[in-house]
Amino acid sequence: MSPEYVRPYVKSQKNDERDAEAIAETATRPTMRFIQLKSGEQLDMQSLHRVRDRLVGQRTALMNQLRGLLLERGIAVPQGRRKLEQHLAAMLEGDDAQLSSRIRSLIVNMQAEWAALDRRIEACDDEFATQAKTDDAARRLASIPGIGVLNATALAAAVGNAATFARGRDPAAWLGLVPRQMTAGGKPRLLGITKRGNKYLRKLLVHGARAALPSLSASTTPLGRWLRSLLERAHKNTVIVALANKLARIVWAVLRHGGTYDAAVVTA
C-alpha cells in the first residue's frame, strides 16, 4: 500500500506498534488500492534509469557552469549543446585574449569531464536499447508513437503488467496528467494538472508527446483528427499534455491486454 494511505490511521505519536496497527487497519478498508510488488529485473531497470537521470543532470550543470565562466568574461554563447561544443573548440584552438592560461586549462579539464559523462550516458542508452529488444513488454511499448527506447524500458519497469490499474484513466491519474479538481457546492472547477506520482515518467511522456505531436497531428488516423481538432481550440502545450495523457492510456492497454499499437483502433 502507498504510505500516504496508511498515515491517517496512525494514532497519536509514531512507533512500530502503531505503524503495524495502522497497516492492518488500512488493509481492511474495502476501497483501499494496493501496489503490485516489482520483480528484481524491474528494480534493476529503475535503478539504471535513476543513475542515467543523475548523470544527465550533472552534465547539464556542467554546461551551465561553463556558460557562466565564459559570460563573466564577456563571452556569450548561443543556446544549445552543440553550439557550446563548437564555440569551445574554436575558442581553444585560437588565441583569445579574454581567457587566461588558467581558465583555458580549467575549461579543458571540464571538457574532459563532459566527455566522460557522455560516455557513461551512452553506455546506459546502449543497455536500454538491448533491454528493449529482449524484453517483450518494452518491445511492444516501443511500437507506440512517442514511446521510444527510454520511455518503453522505464514504463515497463514501473508499471509491469498493468494489473494494478482497473482502467486506462487510472495510470494517467497516477502520473499526474489529469486536471486538479476544486469542487464545492456541486460546482466542479478544473485547474492545472496535479503533477502527482513519478515525475520522471511524467517528464518522459510529455517529451515523447512533444516529439510525436507533429507527425501524429498530420496523420489521417482517429488520433490525428482528434489532435487537429484540439489544436484549433487549445494552446499547444495543453495539447501536448493531453497527448501524454492519451499515451499513458495506450501504454496501459498494451501492457494489460497484450499486442502492439494499432493506429486504426485508437479512438479519441
Q: How confident is the model at residue 142 (pLDDT cuts 50, 70, 90)?
A: very high
**What pLDDT score does 3 carry?**
87
**What pLDDT score does 265 carry?**
66
Q: Which three cell numbers stand for residue 203?
A: 517528464
**What pLDDT score does 2 carry?**
83
**What pLDDT score does 139 carry?**
93
If you ran DSSP here, which 8-state letter would residue 190 be given?
A: E
Contact (CB, 8 A) for 146 and 209: yes
Average pLDDT, the chain: 91
**What pLDDT score does 97 carry?**
66
Give 144 or 99, the one with higher predicted confidence.
Answer: 144
pLDDT over 90, % of the chain: 67
Domain ranges of the chain: 1-35, 40-134, 136-265
**What does the pLDDT look like over 240-256, one tens digit per residue?**
999 999 999 999 999 99
Distance CA(89)–CA(225), nearest Å, equals: 46
**What pLDDT score does 96 carry?**
65
**What does the pLDDT look like over 71-85, one tens digit per residue?**
998 889 998 999 999
Give 112 or 14, the one with higher predicted confidence.
Answer: 112
**What pLDDT score does 140 carry?**
93
Q: What is the mean pLDDT of residues 220-242?
A: 93
In the chain, % helix, strand, coil (3-state, to 5) comes to 65, 5, 30
β-partners of residue 179 are 193
Using only C-alpha atoms, the chain has a radius of gyration, in whole angstroms, of 24
Q: Which three cell numbers stand for residue 147?
A: 514511446
Q: Which residues contact 145 (CB under 8 A, 6 or more apart)?
A: 212, 215, 216, 261, 263
Contact (CB, 8 A) for 204 and 151: yes
Closest CA to 201 of 245, 166, 137, 266: 245
49-53, 126-130, 220-224: the lowest-pLDDT one: 220-224
**What does the pLDDT look like over 146-169, one tens digit per residue?**
999 999 999 999 998 888 888 889
Q: For the whole model, what pTM was predicted?
A: 0.86
Contact (CB, 8 A) for 48 and 127: yes
Helix boundaries (H) for the chain: 3-6, 16-27, 40-72, 81-93, 101-134, 136-141, 149-159, 169-174, 199-217, 222-233, 236-257
**What pLDDT score does 101 carry?**
86
What amino acid is encoded at 18 in this protein?
Answer: R
SS3 192: strand
**What pLDDT score does 146 carry?**
92
47-51, 129-133, 160-164, 254-258: the lowest-pLDDT one: 160-164
β-strand pairing of 190-193 with 179-181: antiparallel
